[in-house]
Chain A
Amino acid sequence: MSTSTLTKEDAAPVEEPVLRKPSARKRLVPYWLLLPGIIWLVVFFALPMIYQASTSVQTGSLEKGFEVTWHFQTYWDAFQEYWPQFIRSLLYAGTATLLCLLLGYPLAYLIAFKAGRWRNLLLVLVIAPFFTSFLIRTLAWKTILADDSVVVEALNALHFLDVTSWLGWTEGDRVLATPMAVVCGLTYNFLPFMILPLYTSLERIDGRLHEAAQDLYASPATTFRKVTFPLSMPGVVSGTLLTFIPASGDYVNAELLGSTDTKMVGNVIQSQFLRVLDYPTAAALSFILMAIVLGMVTVYIRRAGTEDLV
Chain B
Amino acid sequence: MRWIRRNLVVIAGLLTLAYMILPNLVVMAFSFNRPKGRFNYSWQEFSLDAWKDPCGVADMCESLSLSLQLAAWATLGAVVLGTMIAFALVRYRFRARGAINSLIFLPMAMPEVVMAASLLTLFLNMGIELGFWTVLIAHIMFCLSFVVTAVKARVMSMDPRLEEAARDLYAGPTQTFLRVTLPIAAPGIAAGALLAFALSFDDFIITNFNAGSTVTFPMFVWGSAQRGTPVQINVIGTAMFVLAVLVVVAGQMITNRRKKTATA
Q: Tell whether A pairs with B.
A: yes
Q: Interface of A with B (CB < 8 Å)?
A: 29-31, 33-34, 36-38, 40-42, 44-49, 51-52, 55, 103-104, 106-111, 114, 120, 122, 124-144, 146, 148, 188, 191-192, 241, 245-246, 248-252, 256, 266, 269-270, 273-274, 279, 282-283, 286-287, 289-290, 293-294, 297, 309-310
Which of B26, B85, B121, B243 is in CB contact (< 8 Å) with A34? Answer: B85
Hey, which chain B residues are within 8 Å of A282, CB to CB? 117
Which of B12, B108, B234, B245 is in CB contact (< 8 Å) with A136? Answer: B234
Q: Is the CB of A273 within 8 A of B118?
A: no
Q: Which partner residue on chain B sits nearest A128 by CB separation?
A: B245
Hey, which chain A residues are within 8 Å of B170, CB to CB? none
The answer to the question of B200 belonging to the interface, with a C-beta cut-off of 8 Å to chain A, is no
Q: Is the CB of A249 within 8 A of B111?
A: yes
CB distance from A251 to the nearest CB of B (A): 7
Q: Is the CB of A128 within 8 A of B244?
A: yes
Which of B20, B114, B202, B245 is in CB contact (< 8 Å) with A286? Answer: B114
CB distance from B195 to the nearest CB of A (A): 10
Q: Complex formed: what's the CA distance from A288 to B153 in Å?
A: 33
Q: Is the CB of A241 within 8 A of B109?
A: yes
| Interface set, chain B 1-17, CB cutoff 8 A to A | 8-10, 12-17
CB distance from A187 to the nearest CB of B (A): 8
CB distance from B123 to the nearest CB of A (A): 8
Q: How many residues of B contact A (CB 8 A)?
A: 89
Q: Is the CB of A31 within 8 A of B141?
A: no
CB distance from B145 to the nearest CB of A (A): 8
Q: Is the CB of B114 within 8 A of A36?
A: no
Q: Is the CB of A30 within 8 A of B26?
A: no
The answer to the question of B193 belonging to the interface, with a C-beta cut-off of 8 Å to chain A, is no
| Interface set, chain B 183-239, CB cutoff 8 A to A | 198, 201-202, 204-205, 208-209, 217-218, 221-222, 225, 229, 233-234, 236-238
Q: Complex formed: what's the CA distance from A108 to B125 in Å?
A: 46
Q: Complex formed: what's the CA distance from A309 to B8 in Å?
A: 31
Q: Is the CB of B109 within 8 A of A245?
A: yes
Hey, which chain B residues are within 8 Å of A47, CB to CB? 122
Q: Is the CB of B198 within 8 A of A310?
A: no
Q: Is the CB of B13 within 8 A of A33?
A: no
Hey, which chain B residues are within 8 Å of A36, CB to CB? 80-81, 84
Which of A33, A131, A282 gathers most chain B CB within 10 Å? A131
The answer to the question of B41 belonging to the interface, with a C-beta cut-off of 8 Å to chain A, is yes
The answer to the question of B70 belonging to the interface, with a C-beta cut-off of 8 Å to chain A, is no
Which of B105, B122, B140 is in CB contact (< 8 Å) with A40? Answer: B140
Q: Is the CB of A107 within 8 A of B111?
A: no
Hey, which chain A residues are within 8 Å of B165, CB to CB? none
Which of A31, A40, A106 is in CB contact (< 8 Å) with B13? Answer: A106
Q: Is the CB of A286 within 8 A of B117?
A: yes
Closest 7 CB pairs of A and B: A249-B111, A110-B13, A30-B92, A106-B12, A131-B244, A37-B81, A48-B118
Which of B13, B85, B201 is in CB contact (< 8 Å) with A38? Answer: B85
Q: Complex formed: what's the CA distance from A282 to B85 in Å?
A: 33
CB distance from A241 to the nearest CB of B (A): 7
Which of A110, A251, A310 gathers most chain B CB within 10 Å? A310
The answer to the question of B158 belonging to the interface, with a C-beta cut-off of 8 Å to chain A, is no
Beyond A46-B103, A52-B117, A111-B13, whether A33 also contacts B110 by CB under 8 A is: no
Q: Is the CB of A107 within 8 A of B16?
A: yes
Q: Complex formed: what's the CA distance from A252 to B217 in Å?
A: 15
Beyond A106-B13, A293-B111, whether A48 also contacts B119 by CB under 8 A is: yes
Q: Is the CB of B245 within 8 A of A34?
A: no
Hey, which chain B residues are within 8 Å of A128, CB to CB? 24, 241, 244-245, 248
Q: Is the CB of B10 within 8 A of A114?
A: yes
Q: Complex formed: what's the CA distance from A251 to B111 in Å?
A: 11
Q: Is the CB of A37 within 8 A of B42?
A: no
Which of A46, A132, A148 is in CB contact (< 8 Å) with B241? Answer: A132
Which of B114, B148, B208 gathers most chain A CB within 10 Å? B114
Q: Complex formed: what's the CA distance from A134 to B145 in Å?
A: 21
CB distance from A203 to the nearest CB of B (A): 14
Beyond A51-B121, A52-B118, A136-B234, whether A109 also contacts B9 by CB under 8 A is: yes
Hey, which chain B residues are within 8 Å of A114, CB to CB? 9-10, 13
Beyond A44-B119, A129-B23, whether A139 also contacts B221 by CB under 8 A is: yes
CB distance from A180 to the nearest CB of B (A): 14
